[in-house]
Structure 1
Amino acid sequence: MGKRSLARVLVVDVEATCWDGAPPRGQVSEIIEIGVCVLDTATLERGERRAVLVRPERSEVSPFCTELTTLTAADVASGLSFVDACASLREDFGARDLVWASYGDYDRKQFQRQCDATGTPYPFGPRHINVKTLFALAHNLTAEVGMDRAVELAGLSLEGTHHRGVDDAWNIAALLAGLLRAARTR
């Protein structure tokens, strides 16, 4: 294992197969896109951003899923296997040695479920930031809000397409940078 670093935060947002209602018999929700944005904690600048498309193995992309994410079955058919996508997070980004962040707990739980179900090594280390909860606490909200509402409350503009992992990771990184900036000026 490498040295654990606080110099960068790996901001992650996943999109997964979904349906308007219960999954069809024999199908389960699986990750089809891993959006990644690297946040430099010294400068609070967003750096590399990447969309890692993942080929589903136990489900199909529904019309509802395409409507929500813009991803089609053809888009993800040439994606990496889930095992290779997790290996890419570890090898290309050093995910095991960085703090990682997501908006809410869904992404962390989806990775855990899918890793457990497929026997894939979990790609991240133990340090996770739930930006959704942190944002609500920092803004003294009475409840957590969706990412698009948080962007609005922070006075930012939503960049890209909401529910595309790569764009959502970029926007979440902006929210986290704002929270860190505010904490440093107090």
Structure 2
Amino acid sequence: MAKLQLDRILVVDVESTCWDGPPPDGMVSEIIEIGVCTLDPATGDRAGRRSVLVRPERSEVSDFCTELTTLTAGQVADGVPFADACALLRDEYRAHRRVWGSWGNYDRDQFARQCAATDVPYPFGTRHLNIKTLYSLSHALGRELGMAGALEHAGLPLEGTHHRGADDAWNIAALLGGLLTAGR
């Protein structure tokens, strides 16, 4: 097992193909964008955001999905294959050696499902933070908030476009950074 690096936390948010109802016959939900923001856990500072567009192989971008994410079929058609996106996470971000987090478990579960279905090595290590639950527990809310609701609760602006991976990762990292530095 690779040695854990605690110098940065990777905050990840994915957008996936989606429909207004169940997937059409023969299609499955698959990742079309991976948003990444690195966070310095000592300072809570965010260091850049990145959007990796991923070309779907087993589904198409629906009109509903474009309305939700602003991503079009043409944009993601120019994306990288899923295996290349996972390799980028491992090689450039050392995702297998770092703690990573997402807003809820959807992103972790979607990576696990898609990696298993496509025989692509899972890019992350075993240290995942469910930032949605952590935020709600830290504030004794009694229920989990959506990301936009948590930003409002924290008095932070929603920067960028909601339901775009890089922008959501940036906003989630701001929430996590606040949690990590609040008690210091």
Structure 1 Cα separation of the partners of residues 101 and 41 of structure 2: 13
**CA drift at 1:2:** 4.5
Amino acid at match of 1:12: V
Structure 2 Cα separation of the partners of residues 98 and 48 of structure 1: 17
Structure 1 Cα separation of the partners of residues 115 and 48 of structure 2: 25
SS of aligned partner of 2:25:
coil
Cα displacement string for residues 16-47 of structure 1 (whole angstroms, at most 9, x for unaligned residues):
00000010000000000000000011221100
RMSD: 0.8
| TM-score, length of structure 2 as denominator length | 0.98
Q: Which residue of structure 1 lines up, in the alignment, with residue 156 of structure 2?
A: 156
Amino acid at match of 1:57: E
SS of aligned partner of 1:68:
helix
Decide whether the 8 Å contact of 2:43 with 2:177 is kept in 1. no
| TM-score, length of structure 1 as denominator length | 0.97
Q: Which residue of structure 1 lines up, in the alignment, with residue 79 of structure 2?
A: 79
Amino acid at match of 1:50: R
Q: Which residue of structure 1 lines up, in the alignment, with residue 141 of structure 2?
A: 141
Matched, 1:16 2:16: yes
Structure 2 Cα separation of the partners of residues 145 and 59 of structure 1: 30
Q: Which residue of structure 2 lines up, in the alignment, with residue 94 of structure 1?
A: 94
Q: Which aligned pairs between 1:1-186 and structure 2 lie closer than 5 A?
A: 2-182=2-182, 184-185=183-184
SS of aligned partner of 1:157:
coil
SS of aligned partner of 2:171:
helix
Structure 1 Cα separation of the partners of residues 130 and 92 of structure 2: 23
Structure 2 Cα separation of the partners of residues 155 and 43 of structure 1: 19
Structure 1 Cα separation of the partners of residues 44 and 21 of structure 2: 39
Structure 2 Cα separation of the partners of residues 175 and 15 of structure 1: 19
Identity among equivalent positions (%) equals: 68
Cα displacement string for residues 97-141 of structure 1 (whole angstroms, at most 9, x for unaligned residues):
000000000000000000000000000000000000000100111
Q: Runs of at least 4 residues of structure 1 off by over 3 A?
A: none
Q: How many equivalent pairs are there?
A: 184
Structure 2 Cα separation of the partners of residues 6 and 173 of structure 1: 15
Residue range with higher mean Cα deviation, 107-116 or 36-45: 36-45
SS of aligned partner of 1:134:
helix
Unpaired runs of at least 5, structure 2 = none
